[in-house]
Structure 1
Amino acid sequence: MAKLVCAFLFMLVTSFVIQDVYAGGEGSLKPEECSAACDVRCSATMYKKACLTYCNYCCAKCLCVPSGTYGHKEECPCYANLKTHEGGPKCP
């Protein structure tokens, strides 16, 4: 009976770990969806190449991109909290 309980608990814990891995970090985006989300985020800037570079980097780490072209960083705290070496915001 103890082996059955241990096996059940192992399967339960494993399922939570697998769900967490597939859900990504903080956000619900899949890594392959970052490019499209960053295209929207960077659509209004004149520095498109730099914006896309940093947005895609941040999205890969956080699996989240705030909506719109500016602001709304409260939607993705991980995205908002990534900083440069100087302490400024890393993500557009």
Structure 2
Amino acid sequence: MGISKAFVASFLLSLFLLQLVQAFQPNQLDDTSNDNYPSTKIDCEGACAARCKLSKRPNLCNRSCGSCCGRCNCVPPGTSGNYESCACYANLTTRGNKKKCP
């Protein structure tokens, strides 16, 4: 009987340790290393300044671009268009279903 109690205790302890190890590992569902979400952070301020440099309302453009860049971690090249290079950026919309990102 003593052996079975020791076995059950060691089994429970190993399950506890396994759960503890998994809790400290990064969650694979949160991994943002696919094509739409690059794993390295970009300089949103610089990328949005380049994107909004010809805008008639640069403050508004920089604010919305910064918000989109923060969520998607990418900004399409150029001052307009080129959305195919950043699908996440292109798919963000406002509550009125208008494009959120400049």
Q: TM-score, normalised by structure 2?
A: 0.65
Paired residues in the alignment total 80
**Aligned equivalents of 1:67, 1:28: Cα separation in 2:** 18
Please tell me whether the aligned partners of residues 34 and 59 of structure 1 are also in contact (alpha carbons under 8 angstroms): yes
Letter paired with 1:60: G
Residue in structure 2 matched with residue 4 of structure 1 by the alignment? none
1:27 deviation in Å?
3.2
Residue aligned with 2:44, SS = helix
> In the TM superposition, what are the counterparts of 1:20-31 in structure 2 within 5 Å?
20=31, 23=33, 26-27=37-38, 30=41
| Alpha-carbon spacing, 1:80–1:74, altered in 2? closer, same or farther (3 Å) | same
Please tell me whether the aligned partners of residues 37 and 65 of structure 1 are also in contact (alpha carbons under 8 angstroms): yes
Q: TM-score, normalised by structure 1?
A: 0.71
**Aligned equivalents of 1:28, 1:44: Cα separation in 2:** 29
- Match of residue 46, structure 1, among 56, 59, 79: 56
Runs of 4+ aligned structure 1 residues displaced above 6 Å come to none
Q: Which structure has the larger Rg over C-alpha atoms?
A: 2
Considering only aligned residues, what root-mean-square deviation do their CA atoms show, in Å?
Answer: 2.8
Letter paired with 2:58: K
Higher normalized contact order (CA 8 Å, seq sep 6+, divided by chain length):
1
Please tell me whether the aligned partners of residues 29 and 64 of structure 1 are also in contact (alpha carbons under 8 angstroms): no
